[in-house]
């Protein structure tokens, strides 16, 4: 664990060379239920991939396979071009995959610094090094342009929804996450708060971090995402640069799994984006 | 939701955003909830500090102020009723009476922070004291061996409760309720089988002096000066370290005031204790139990506030799932907390037996544990976990000891003591709950 990685915080997302995360033929069966059926997906670094689909389409199942909650029944996951087995959340953590569920896993009775370092506190002489942690936390928040918190010593319980998201994201960035997965990050937020979080997601992409965002809100998706992947009944029916989609097409894909001008489902994505 | 905290609103000159690099590039609306203005941590001067402290109190984070106020009120009431109350002899007596409540309260804090409870500490303390007494009086072992044996036993008992709670996922309320009953039985068995008629006397002079002996007057002063100097240097060094590192530290005035108040309290304590309170032969000096309680308080405060272990207890007490996902071992940390509860109860037991000069089979461990929980809660700890400090037990314990002692002086029966303690406990939780309701609800 080290401080904010400065080297990769450069502007333009590289156009997809080797994707950071590659899923090939991922299936997950629960008994007779096929929650995921041969899903192929590429997640490039520096891009924001929106994962959309109706309830029960398999979004959460897919996320859990990537973040090590459960192993897929079959299929292959590659990380940086190397096949990996993500059997536990700890493995995901070590690879640099940070997953943020809606509850954000924050402790309301601890302040921002304490939450950001929870489980990974900096020590000096075996005691908590509060000064150092506070400096790093502040710097990380500043790097992410999170400017709305007055003090990093505020209790997280006193923060607004958007600020809480910011803290969770900053924690992931501080721990050198290379892929940040966010489950409905704007679901419970008002307009201002949503704008804050979307801005934060863009910042992550600009820093070269791969982001997967699950969202039901197509406004958010079209505002923030570079790429989109649509799940329908466990199959990945379409994916590609967001420029190739419009709202109408995405809605059709989500609700019927088909669209008039759609390439065949399950095709590995070839990135045409500049 | 009001957007009152735009960077341009930094009109009061407090360093709210300016100390975060890149703040000028704020692209998004500020969305700080109302009422969280001027965090205490950012106050640059004494005036701002006082203002934000007042604000914090109004918004429900009053800390120890209500219980301190309550304590002062009780002292005034009892002093008006009976001028003996503030005499040296009575105050020292009160401190010694309170020490057992304070220690048991501190024992309880370890598990309360986790959102657990230990109902057995009263009888566990009794069992520890009995083992110490048997080791010392019956077997003639050295005092320190006797104490270690007693405390080791209570620590092990605490660990057993913890293991049952963790391994079998049992509610700590039930496990330690069983513990309360079981340990009463163990206590009766141990005391009765000693064959000394239901009472084991403490004959070792060191053991007796723990609660009944006094330091020399000069040793009292030295202790006080060392304690204040240690607190002062820790405070100032930490503030300096923060300033050198470019962080905001409390205004120097505030730190000076804190140290001066502590020094004044220390001088008052030593002066009171060093006054001759003997009737025939001179009795003076700070009771040994004072440095014992303060030492335990200091070490426990340090563990809870400055180590990973302490931090994890707060995290688990508030959001166990978040702690688990952060890679924190729930089991081990809980086990240690229960063990420390047992250990602290053991220390309380030794002091209890020392004060009475004996341990008997009619010790009321049930009332003791209720006083222990009441001490912690009156001080400000939450039964729901995630909130509590060791100093809460000190203040709450003093409140209970004051009631106990003051009502005793007034010659009021135990019935009144219990009723008044009940009212104070209710008042404490009510004030806390009302204060919290006035607090910002976040989002």
A69: pLDDT confidence band, cut at 50, 70 and 90?
Answer: confident
> Torsion-angle region of residue A122: left (phi > 0), alpha (psi -120 to 50) or beta?
beta
The mean pLDDT of B319-330, rounded to a whole number, is 90
Q: What is the DSSP letter of B137?
A: I
| Residues in chain A within 8 Å Cβ distance of B23 | 142, 147
Which residue stretches of chain A are H helix? 59-66, 89-95, 112-116, 130-143, 161-174, 191-206, 218-224, 247-256
Those residues whose C-beta lies under 8 Å from the C-beta of residue B393, and which sit 6 or more positions away, are B102, B103, B104, B105, B106, B108, B109, B375, B376, B379, B381
B220: pLDDT confidence band, cut at 50, 70 and 90?
Answer: very high
Identify the closest residue of chain A to B42 by CA–CA distance.
A151
Q: Chain A: nearest CA to B114, how far in angstroms?
A: 12
Say whether A192 and B29 touch across the interface (CB within 8 A): yes
Distance CA B118, CA B174 (A): 9
Distances (CA, A) of A200 to A194, A203, B16, B357: 10, 5, 21, 66
Identify the closest residue of chain B to A105 by CA–CA distance.
B322
Is pLDDT of A249 > 80? yes
B60: pLDDT confidence band, cut at 50, 70 and 90?
Answer: low
- Of A198, A199, A213, the C-alpha closest to A99 is A213
Distance CA A239, CA A43 (A): 11
pTM of the model as a whole: 0.84
Do residues B420 and B407 touch, judged by C-beta distance below 8 A?
yes
Cα dihedral across residues B16, B18, B20, B23: positive or negative: positive
The answer to whether A124 contacts chain B (CB < 8 Å) is no
| Residues in chain A within 8 Å Cβ distance of B442 | 157-160
Do residues B53 and B70 touch, judged by C-beta distance below 8 A?
no
Q: Chain A: nearest CA to B31, how far in angstroms?
A: 6
Q: A191-205, B67-81, B158-172, B419-433: which has the minimum mean pLDDT? A: B419-433
- Using CB atoms within 10 Å of the CB of residue A71, give its burial: 0 to 12 exposed, 13 to 18 middle, 19+ buried: middle
- 3-class secondary structure, B183: helix
The mean pLDDT of A237-253, rounded to a whole number, is 91
pLDDT tens-digit readout, B362-413: 888 888 999 999 999 989 898 888 999 999 999 999 999 999 899 888 888 8
The mean pLDDT of A31-52, rounded to a whole number, is 92
Is pLDDT of B241 > 60? yes
DSSP bridge partners of A128: A123
Distances (CA, A) of A25 to A40, A66, A181: 5, 13, 20
Q: pLDDT at position B62, please?
A: 65
Distance CA B86, CA B396 (A): 19
The answer to whether A49 contacts chain B (CB < 8 Å) is no
DSSP bridge partners of A97: A179
- Of B360, B330, B358, the C-alpha closest to B136 is B358
Q: What is the DSSP letter of A111?
A: B
DSSP bridge partners of A30: A33
Which residues 153-182 of A are in CB contact (within 8 Å) with B?
Answer: 153-154, 157-163
Say whether B5 and A148 touch across the interface (CB within 8 A): yes
Please state, for a pLDDT cut of 90, what percent of chain B lies above it: 60
A261: pLDDT confidence band, cut at 50, 70 and 90?
Answer: low
B17: pLDDT confidence band, cut at 50, 70 and 90?
Answer: very low
User: Which residue did the predictor score with more confidence, B59 or B291?
Assistant: B291
Q: What is the mean pLDDT of chain B?
A: 86
| Residues in chain B within 8 Å Cβ distance of A139 | 21
A156: pLDDT confidence band, cut at 50, 70 and 90?
Answer: very high
Distance CA A242, CA B125 (A): 68
Q: A78-87, A95-104, B232-241: which has the minimum mean pLDDT? A: A95-104
Which is it for strands A210-214 and A179-183: parallel, antiparallel or unpaired?
A: parallel
The mean pLDDT of B420-424, rounded to a whole number, is 85
Q: Chain A: nearest CA to B41, how far in angstroms?
A: 7
The mean pLDDT of B271-283, rounded to a whole number, is 88
Q: pLDDT at position B436, please?
A: 66
Which residues 52-81 of A are in CB contact (within 8 Å) with B?
Answer: none
Is pLDDT of B43 > 70? no
Q: What is the mean pLDDT of chain A?
A: 85
pLDDT tens-digit readout, B25-35: 333 333 334 34
> Torsion-angle region of residue A80: left (phi > 0), alpha (psi -120 to 50) or beta?
left
Q: Chain A: nearest CA to B442, how far in angstroms?
A: 5
- Which of A128, A134, A143 minimises the CB distance to B247? A134
Distance CA B53, CA B40 (A): 6
Q: Among A90, A127, A129, A158, which would you mutate to test the B interface (most chain B Cβ atoms within 10 Å of its Cβ)? A: A158
Cα dihedral across residues B27, B28, B32, B37: positive or negative: positive
pLDDT tens-digit readout, B101-133: 999 999 999 999 999 999 999 999 999 999 999
Say whether B328 and A119 touch across the interface (CB within 8 A): yes
Q: pLDDT at position A263, please?
A: 55
| Residues in chain B within 8 Å Cβ distance of A127 | 306-307
Is pLDDT of B264 > 80? yes
Size of interface A-B (CB pairs under 8 A): 146
Q: Chain A: nearest CA to B372, how far in angstroms?
A: 23
Please state, for a pLDDT cut of 70, what percent of chain A lies above it: 88
Residue/partner pairs of B226-234 with CB below 8 Å, 24 or more apart: B227/B266, B227/B294, B228/B259, B228/B262, B228/B263, B228/B266, B231/B259, B231/B262, B232/B259, B232/B262, B232/B263
Q: Among A92, A102, A107, which would you mutate to test the B interface (most chain B Cβ atoms within 10 Å of its Cβ)? A: A107
B40: pLDDT confidence band, cut at 50, 70 and 90?
Answer: low
Distance CA A156, CA A164 (A): 7
- Which of A110, A134, A163 minimises the CB distance to B315? A110
Q: Among B34, B39, B333, which would you mutate to test the A interface (most chain A Cβ atoms within 10 Å of its Cβ)? A: B39
- Of A67, A91, A87, the C-alpha closest to A180 is A67
Percentage helix, strand, coil, to 5, in chain B?
Answer: 70, 0, 30
Say whether A192 and B386 touch across the interface (CB within 8 A): no
- Which of B21, B32, B318 minimises the CB distance to A150? B32
The answer to whether A142 contacts chain B (CB < 8 Å) is yes
Count of CB atoms within 10 A of residue B69's CB?
12
The mean pLDDT of A95-123, rounded to a whole number, is 90
Do residues B103 and B347 touch, judged by C-beta distance below 8 A?
yes
A171-208 in b/e form (b: 16+ CB < 10 A) is bbbbbebbbbbbbbbbeebeebbbbbbbbbbbbbbebb
The mean pLDDT of B166-193, rounded to a whole number, is 95
Cα dihedral across residues B293, B298, B303, B304: positive or negative: positive
Q: pLDDT at position B75, please?
A: 92
Q: Among B23, B380, B443, which would you mutate to test the A interface (most chain A Cβ atoms within 10 Å of its Cβ)? A: B443
Q: A92-101, A153-162, B5-14: which has the minimum mean pLDDT? A: B5-14
């Amino acid at each position: 664990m080290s401080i904010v990685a400065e080297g990769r915080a450069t502007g333009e997302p590289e156009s997809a060379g080797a994707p950071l995360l590659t899923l090939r033929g991922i299936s997950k069966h629960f008994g007779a239920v096929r929650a995921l059926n041969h899903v192929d997906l590429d997640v490039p670094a520096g891009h924001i991939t929106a994962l959309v689909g109706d309830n029960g389409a398999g979004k959460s199942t897919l996320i859990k396979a990537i973040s090590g909650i459960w192993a897929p029944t079959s299929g292959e996951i590659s990380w940086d071009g190397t096949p990996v087995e993500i059997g536990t959340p700890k493995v995901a953590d070590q690879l640099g995959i940070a997953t943020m569920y809606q509850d954000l896993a924050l402790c309301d009775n601890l302040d921002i610094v304490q939450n950001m370092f929870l489980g990974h506190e900096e020590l000096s002489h075996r005691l908590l090094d509060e000064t150092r942690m506070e400096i790093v936390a502040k710097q990380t928040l500043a790097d992410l342009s999170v400017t709305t918190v007055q003090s990093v010593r505020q209790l997280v319980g006193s923060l607004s929804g958007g600020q809480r998201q910011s803290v969770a994201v900053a924690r992931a960035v501080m721990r050198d996450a290379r892929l940040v997965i966010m489950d409905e990050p704007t679901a419970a937020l008002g307009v201002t708060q949503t704008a804050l979080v979307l801005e934060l997601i863009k910042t992550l992409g600009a820093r070269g971090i791969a982001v997967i965002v699950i969202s039901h809100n197509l406004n958010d998706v079209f505002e923030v995402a570079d790429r989109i992947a649509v799940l329908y009944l466990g199959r990945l029916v379409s994916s590609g640069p967001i420029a190739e989609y419009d709202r109408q097409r995405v809605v059709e894909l989500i609700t019927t799994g088909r669209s008039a001008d759609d390439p065949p489902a399950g095709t590995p994505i070839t990135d045409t984006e500049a | 939701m009001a957007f009152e905290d735009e960077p341009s609103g930094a009109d009061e000159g407090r360093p709210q955003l300016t100390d975060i690099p890149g703040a000028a590039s704020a692209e998004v609306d500020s969305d700080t909830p109302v009422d969280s203005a001027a965090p205490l941590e950012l106050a640059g001067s004494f005036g701002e500090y006082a203002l934000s402290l007042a604000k914090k109190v109004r918004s429900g984070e009053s800390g120890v102020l209500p219980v301190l106020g309550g304590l002062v009120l009780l002292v005034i009431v009892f002093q008006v009723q009976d001028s003996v109350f503030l005499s040296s002899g009575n105050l020292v007596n009160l401190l010694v009476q309170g020490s057992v409540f304070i220690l048991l309260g501190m024992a309880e804090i370890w598990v309360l922070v986790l959102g657990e409870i230990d109902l057995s500490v009263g009888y566990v303390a009794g069992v520890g004291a009995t083992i110490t007494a048997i080791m010392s009086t019956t077997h003639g072992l050295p005092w320190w061996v006797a104490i270690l044996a007693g405390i080791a036993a209570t620590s092990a008992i605490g660990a057993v409760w913890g293991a049952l709670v963790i391994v079998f996922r049992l509610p700590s309320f039930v496990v330690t309720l069983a513990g309360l009953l079981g340990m009463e039985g163990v206590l009766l068995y141990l005391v009765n089988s000693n064959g000394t008629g239901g009472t084991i006397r403490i004959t070792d002079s060191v053991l007796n002096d723990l609660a009944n002996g006094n330091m020399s007057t000069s040793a009292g002063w030295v202790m006080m000066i060392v304690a204040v100097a240690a607190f002062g240097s820790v405070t100032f060094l930490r503030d300096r370290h923060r300033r050198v590192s470019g962080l905001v530290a409390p205004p120097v005035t505030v730190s000076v005031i804190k140290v001066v108040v502590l020094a004044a309290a220390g001088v008052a304590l030593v002066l009171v204790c060093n006054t001759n309170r003997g009737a025939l032969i001179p009795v003076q000096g700070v009771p040994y139990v004072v440095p014992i309680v303060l030492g335990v308080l200091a070490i426990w405060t340090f563990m809870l506030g400055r180590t990973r272990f302490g931090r994890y207890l707060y995290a688990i007490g508030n959001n166990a799932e978040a702690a688990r996902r952060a890679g924190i071992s729930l089991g081990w940390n809980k086990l240690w907390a229960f063990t420390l509860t047992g250990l602290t109860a053991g220390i309380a037991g030794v002091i209890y037996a020392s004060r009475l000069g004996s341990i008997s089979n009619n010790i009321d461990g049930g009332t003791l544990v209720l006083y222990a929980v009441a001490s912690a809660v009156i001080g400000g700890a939450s039964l729901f976990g995630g909130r509590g400090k060791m100093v809460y037990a000190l203040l709450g314990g003093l409140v209970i000891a004051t009631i106990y002692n003051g009502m005793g002086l007034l010659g009021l029966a135990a019935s009144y003591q219990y009723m008044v303690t009940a009212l104070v406990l209710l008042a404490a939780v009510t004030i806390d709950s009302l204060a919290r309701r006035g607090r910002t609800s976040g989002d």
